[in-house]
Structure 1
Amino acid sequence: MTILETKRLKLIPFCDDHLAGLTAINSDPEVMTYIGNGAPMSEADSQAMIDRVKPRWTSHGFSWWSVFRKDDNLMIGAATLQPLAAQTGAVPEIGWRLRRDCWGKGYATEAAERIVLFAKELGIPEVVAVANPGNIASIAVMERLGMQYRGIETHYNAPCAVYQVSLRLKTVQEAAAPLSQAGEGH
């Protein structure tokens, strides 16, 4: 299980010790507006979430992290790299949710950027992110990450705006090929 860090954040794999912080986030109706069926989650639901995703660390090498601010060690959110809609063999998706009092401070972008870098380090060729089409804030994060809009698709039994980004590393020769071809015959 991998701990990730950024300038302001520490992402620690979900564990039972994070239940109170996760429940505080998941039980906020505004946080959950665009997640799942839009209903707040109970403490039991949050524990079930932790129990459900912990084994993915062993099977996939990635899963869900609790997001902590470094300056005060406050759990401010949760973020993920996981198979899209928990489908085996699916393209990995990134996702996030934050405490309402932490919205608009760049934390989602910062955590997501680090997770994308982690995916690249693992050799994952591309990642996607999905959001309710009305979730303008999450879509803005996807665009800040340089993700490209793919369209509206059904995931998690709902229509989702889907964004993707390729993480493939090009060789110098591959990157230069279009330039050399453009100069031919002119």
Structure 2
Amino acid sequence: MTILHTARLRLEPIRDAHFEGLQAMNRLPEVMRYISGAPETPEQTREMIERVKARWAEWGFSWWAFIHLASGRVAGAGCIQYLDRQPGNPHEIGWRLHPDFWRQGLASEAAEAMAAFAFDGLQAPELVAVRHPDNRDSAKVMERLGMQERGLGTWYGADMMLHGISAAQWRARRPLR
């Protein structure tokens, strides 16, 4: 399992030891507002951890816990997975942060590392992301990654905006990589 590093974060494949930090984030209505619309119960967080561990074993990629280096806390979580969790669909990138870590550039920092993993490590031909139409903060992170809005579609049982970037577009925007 791959651990990723940024200037301020260590992205660790989610495991049981991350439960408390993940639950502290996922139980907050403001975190889940644009994801499921409802706070997660402890049982739902445990089930998510089990699903994620299985995906790491099967696919070799899934969700990471974002460990804030200065505090040691779980600052957020993010993923590379198949869109709508269906192998054969494009690779999807996603993230969420605990409100204590909002507006510090950490989502963009983590997203850059995860996108590099998808394109350089997995050789993904493209990377997509979905967001609730009202989630402008995630749209800004997607724009910083070089993603283009592709339109509204139904993903994960809800109407979501789809954004994407090809591997060629990714490499063209990062010529020094």
Residues of 2 paired with 1:88 and 1:8: CA distance? Answer: 32
Q: Residue 136 of structure 2 aligns with which residue?
A: 136
Q: Residue 98 of structure 1 aligns with which residue?
A: 97
Residues of 2 paired with 1:125 and 1:61: CA distance? Answer: 17
Matched residues, number: 169
Residues of 2 paired with 1:96 and 1:3: CA distance? Answer: 16
SS of aligned partner of 1:79: strand
Any residues of structure 2 matched to 1:41-120 within 5 Å, and which?
41-120=40-119
Residue 169 of structure 1 deviates from its aligned partner by 8.1
Any residues of structure 2 matched to 1:17-32 within 5 Å, and which?
17-32=17-32
Q: Does 1:5 align with 2:5?
A: yes
After superposition, the CA RMSD in angstroms is: 1.3
Residues of 2 paired with 1:169 and 1:141: CA distance? Answer: 16
TM-score by length of 2: 0.93
Residues of 1 paired with 2:147 and 2:80: CA distance? Answer: 15
Residue 14 of structure 1 deviates from its aligned partner by 0.5
Show CA shifts across 1:37-96 (max 9, x none): x00001111000000111111221110000011122111100000001111211010000
Q: Which runs of 5+ in 2 are unaligned?
A: 171-177
Q: Residue 173 of structure 1 aligns with which residue?
A: none
SS of aligned partner of 1:55: helix
SS of aligned partner of 1:73: coil
Residue 116 of structure 1 deviates from its aligned partner by 0.3
- Give the percent of matched residue pairs that are identical in Structure 1 and Structure 2: 48
For residue 23 of structure 2, what is the amino acid of its counterpart? Answer: T
Residues of 2 paired with 1:87 and 1:168: CA distance? Answer: 24
Q: Which runs of 5+ in 1 are unaligned?
A: 171-186
Residues of 2 paired with 1:17 and 1:155: CA distance? Answer: 30
Show CA shifts across 1:137-180 (max 9, x none): 0011101111011000100111101100111489xxxxxxxxxx
Residue 23 of structure 1 deviates from its aligned partner by 0.3
Show CA shifts across 1:82-132 (max 9, x none): 001111211010000000111110000000000000011121111100000
Show CA shifts across 1:8-29 (max 9, x none): 1100000000000000010000
TM-score by length of 1: 0.88
Residues of 2 paired with 1:105 and 1:118: CA distance? Answer: 22
Q: Residue 33 of structure 1 aligns with which residue?
A: 33
Any residues of structure 2 matched to 1:145-160 within 5 Å, and which?
145-160=145-160
